[in-house]
Amino acid sequence: MYNNLNYYKTPLRETIKAGFEEKRATLEDGTTLNYAEGPDNGPALLLIHGQGVTWENYSVVLPELSEYYHIFAVDCHGHGKSSKNPEKYSAEEMGKDFVWFLKKVVGEPVVVSGHSSGGLLAAWLAANSPENILGIVLEDPPFFSSETSRAEKTFAWVDSFEPIHRFLRQSEEKDYTLYYLKNSYWVNYFGNGKEGIINYAASYREKHPNEKLEFFFLPPSINKIFHYMESYDPRFGDTFYDCSWMENFDHAETLSRINCPSVLIHASWSYDDNGILLAAMDGADAERAHSLIKNNILINIESGHGVHDERPNEFIQIMIDFLNEIE
């Protein structure tokens, strides 16, 4: 049996013990950005999480990283305790709000590290607000693969964005968590065990409505999918289905305008028998992004998509080494 229901509690406790405080900032238009701020032990570091989680997803690396940086870890729009206004669900609108955050809350130029879609935002900030950026660490962002021509052949699309789109256009199932589970791509890997997982989930949700879904018999990698789902707005994911999140955000053009020190972390990748990319980028995508960013450092690492979570020591070392790049 897995010790999978405590995987997040200890890192979060250690994060709070390290001096992190959860705060909120409100823009002039009423948008709320929830964030955690750590002790001031170095250059400012903005952490932007990936889709479907919150700032707490960084907890496993926050205590040690905070010994070197003054960390601001935000909840993205549509996630956690930040505002859930679909009008803000685009790289451009979120980017503008994060520029406001850098100027009004942080108050000094920052290093930005973003994971997945957060990495896309880190690139947007470096290209469009260079005066506020010391450098960027891009953690396995879906460059090119999440643009219109490629999106439908990615795991994120078939597992998340397409089910979200269908969920929002039906009325029979009100529980997004259950709908997602039944229609996810990964649950099919369990073969004959699929129905048992779905039945257990339905029973659990009936007994524990509005609580996060937990499977005591499945590993943390599965439970983490559902840990933050109650505070996630599916309408955010729908903007990746129709690619409206990418409006006025061409990846190649954006990358070519980045002039600050940068690191691109690329995790393991593969295609399945259906031609679905089971990763954020394939090797060619990573090399293309690397070639477009001036003086970029490309780091290939054997890891799943969540490098900071799965390979925390390596991620922390990359961030420590990056201090030499911005001096």
CA distance 262 to 291: 12
Instruction: Identify residue 55 by its one-letter amino acid code.
Output: W
Q: What is the reported pLDDT for 4?
A: 55
Q: What is the reported pLDDT for 2?
A: 43
3-state DSSP call for residue 87?
helix
Burial of residue 92 (CB within 10 Å: 0-12, 13-18, 19+) is middle
Q: What is the reported pLDDT for 225?
A: 86
Instruction: Give the residues of the chain that fall short of pLDDT 70.
Output: 1-7
Q: What is the reported pLDDT for 219?
A: 85
Q: What is the reported pLDDT for 8?
A: 73
Helix (H) or strand (E) holding 223: helix 220-227
Q: What is the reported pLDDT for 6?
A: 66
* Overall fold of domain 9-150+247-326: Rossmann fold (3.40.50)
Q: What is the reported pLDDT for 211?
A: 86
Listed in sequence order, the residues at least 6 apart from 174 whose beta carbon sits closer than 8 Å to its beta carbon are none
Listed in sequence order, the residues at least 6 apart from 93 whose beta carbon sits closer than 8 Å to its beta carbon are 77, 87
Q: Compute CA distances 151 → 86, 90, 136, 160, 209, whole Å.
A: 20, 16, 25, 11, 33
- Residue span(s) of the chain under CATH 3.40.50.1820 come to 9-150+247-326
CA atoms lying within 13 Å on the CB side of residue 292: 20
3-state DSSP call for residue 206?
helix
pLDDT digits (tens, 9 = 90+) for 38-81: 999 999 999 999 999 999 999 999 999 999 999 999 999 999 99
Q: What is the reported pLDDT for 7?
A: 67
